[in-house]
Amino acid sequence: MEILVCVRRVPDTSENEITLNSAGNDIERDELVYSINEADNYAVEEALQIVARVGGNVTVATVGGEDDEEILRREMAMGANHGVLITDDAFNGSDGKGIATILKAFVQKGNYDLILTGVQAEDGGAQVGGMLAALLDYPFASLVNSIEAVDGKKLKVSREIEGGNKEISEIDLPCVLSIQTGINEPRYVGMKGIRQVASIPVPTFGVPELAIDASTVGAAAAKVTRVDYFVPALGKGAEMLEGTRDENIEKLLELVAAKGGLK
């Protein structure tokens, strides 16, 4: 099976405290730790596991800039066969539909049976996978938490629905699936693995290679634009206990007892 996994490099929320910049119009991006979007990493692992069972190749692709190449190499170190950087100044400022339009053009250059994305990016809207599927007229399933290859023509997939229940469906290939975190246990990637793939070329694709109409992507085509970031004042917030640790423990236990929690 030929599998394409669309990935993104994002600020890592487990490593960073996200704050506003001094102008208040963006997050403070200096010294942010970036990594592959968590759900995308699960998607790559899933692709590798499928290929290990039924054969085939895994390609990872991202729409971005030079800095994003590092996550492609990371996923290649995990075992992805190819990494592709889709980059062009004309792509800057694309909204979700713009990104999906670019990816559609890339998909049509290849011959993929299955396209995976992460369910959602840290700063995204769970949108590109579903849009890409609709642009390609492929079937789509979101929030996928298990995949079983039935035969060369279809898959059996499970979606995570309310209450931890699973919705099981059959889906025709080629299709697009958005992968939920927790579907597998992504393998560890060490520095050694990344060094081993350092010399493998990562081809780039831009407007000429994709033969894309530049007016359909980028800032000018975007119907959806982020105006600014802000930190909302939500209610009055918690009463913060600011004593010593011992004092905080005493107070906490007092409160728990008062609320009927300690017997």
Output 89 or 250, the one with its CB closest to another protein: 250
Q: Are 177 and 126 in contact (CB under 8 A)?
A: no
Q: Are 177 and 114 in contact (CB under 8 A)?
A: yes
- For residues 174 and 111, what is the distance between their CA atoms, to the nearest angstrom? 9
- For residues 161 and 143, what is the distance between their CA atoms, to the nearest angstrom? 8
From the centroid of its chain, how far is CA 93?
Answer: 18
Stretch binding another protein (CB under 8 A), from 75-83, 84-92, 137-145, 193-201? 137-145
Q: Using CB under 8 A, pick the residue from 171, 189, 207, 210 that binds another protein.
A: 171
Stretch binding another protein (CB under 8 A), from 10-18, 49-57, 81-89, 204-212? 10-18
Give the HSE-up count for residue 240: Cα atoms under 13 Å, Cβ half-sphere.
Answer: 3
Q: What residues numbered 96-115 form the site for another protein, per CB under 8 A?
A: 96-97, 100
Output 2 or 167, the one with its CB closest to another protein: 167
Stretch binding another protein (CB under 8 A), from 68-76, 189-197, 205-213, 231-239? 231-239
Output 25 or 92, the one with its CB closest to another protein: 25
- For residues 112 and 4, what is the distance between their CA atoms, to the nearest angstrom? 6
Binding mask 141-160 for another protein (x = CB under 8 A): xxx------------x-xxx
- For residues 86 and 207, what is the distance between their CA atoms, to the nearest angstrom? 9
Q: Using CB under 8 A, pick the residue from 13, 92, 196, 204 that binds another protein.
A: 13
Stretch binding another protein (CB under 8 A), from 49-57, 63-71, 86-94, 224-232? 224-232
Cα–Cα separations (whole angstroms), residue 43 to 35, 59, 71: 15, 12, 13
Output 204 or 248, the one with its CB closest to another protein: 248
Q: Which of 112, 39, 108 is nearest to 82 (CA)?
A: 112
For the bound state, the minimum distance from the C-beta of residue 20 to another protein, rounded and expressed in Å, comes to 7
Q: What residues numbered 40-99 form the site for another protein, per CB under 8 A?
A: 96-97
Stretch binding another protein (CB under 8 A), from 15-23, 54-62, 67-75, 77-85? 15-23
Q: Using CB under 8 A, pick the residue from 56, 65, 93, 139 that binds another protein.
A: 139
User: What are the tokens at 107?
Assistant: 């998909």
Three-class secondary structure of residue 10 per DSSP? strand
Element (H, E) at 141: strand 140-149
The verdict on 253 binding another protein (CB under 8 A) reads yes
